[in-house]
Amino acid sequence: MHLKRIILIALAVLLCSTASLAQDTEKKEKAKRKLFPDIETIEVYKNVLGIDIANIINILSKKNESYLINYKRHLSKKHALRTGLNFEWSTSRDGYIGMGVKVGYERIYPIVSQHWQLHWGVDATFQYLASNFQPNTSFRYGAGPLIGFSYFPVRRFSISTEVGINFMYTDHRNPESYDPRDNANVWDIKVGSVGMLIVSYHF
């Protein structure tokens, strides 16, 4: 009789432990779904066209890593191709003409709710600069990882920002100069995209 009581108590403890474990697992899953919602339940538009408003506001102190026009093409709800374009033109004596383009890949994660998204990716970049005053030209090639987030106040509009590390190679050319610095090849590592604020339309 004593043995039966021990067995019954052990079974009761085991059942309680199993039920408690199942409840804890369910709570963890609910918390995970709340923090990282299922992206398959979120509507995603194929095309995203954005403008970096910080690029316009800070036009006098604009960074080389800034791109005025940005476009994304969603391959699926989790994956997207991205590109950016920038063009600068000045007629002043100390001004220059410049063009920049980037292409890359982006991986998307919804967080907290469908209003917030986290993304990471990688970009390859190219930039051309030519001085108006001297025959100075620069060709810059770069690549680097990035991470950022987006906020959706409504379904078709988002505000996003990101930060990345840029590994860049610059080829400076001036055929009329004998200064080695005017015909040098330079490697740089910079933290880029800081301060960018892209307003995008999704369609």
Task: Decide which of 85 and 36 is more confident.
Answer: 85
User: How does residue 18 score in pLDDT terms, banded at 50, 70 and 90?
Assistant: low
pLDDT tens column, 32-48: 455 555 656 677 899 99
Per-residue pLDDT at 185: 87
Q: How far is CA 41 from CA 73, 77, 170, in A?
A: 19, 10, 44
Alpha carbons 3 and 160: distance in angstroms, whole number: 66
Answer yes or no: are the C-beta atoms of 201 and 49 closer than 8 Å: yes
Per-residue pLDDT at 30: 53
Answer yes or no: are the C-beta atoms of 70 and 56 closer than 8 Å: no
Per-residue pLDDT at 118: 94
Per-residue pLDDT at 177: 72
Token pair 């009329």 is found at 176
pLDDT tens column, 115-133: 899 999 999 999 998 888 7
**DSSP helix/strand/coil, 179:** coil
Amino acid letter, residue 10: A
DSSP for 118-130, please give it: EEEEEEEEEEEEE
Per-residue pLDDT at 46: 95
Q: Mean of the per-residue pLDDT values for the chain?
A: 80
pLDDT tens column, 94-115: 677 889 999 999 999 988 777 8
Task: Decide which of 182 and 60 is more confident.
Answer: 182
Task: Decide which of 139 and 92 is more confident.
Answer: 139
Alpha carbons 114 and 199: distance in angstroms, whole number: 17
Between the two ends of the chain, the Cα-to-Cα distance in Å is 74
Specify the CATH class of 39-202 in words. Answer: mainly beta
Alpha carbons 190 and 168: distance in angstroms, whole number: 8
Per-residue pLDDT at 60: 47
Answer yes or no: are the C-beta atoms of 102 and 124 closer than 8 Å: yes
Looking at residues 68-72, what average pLDDT do you find?
94
Indicate whether 152 pLDDT > 70: yes
CB neighbours (10 Å) of residue 60? 5
By CB atoms closer than 10 A (0-12, 13-18, 19+), residue 51 is middle
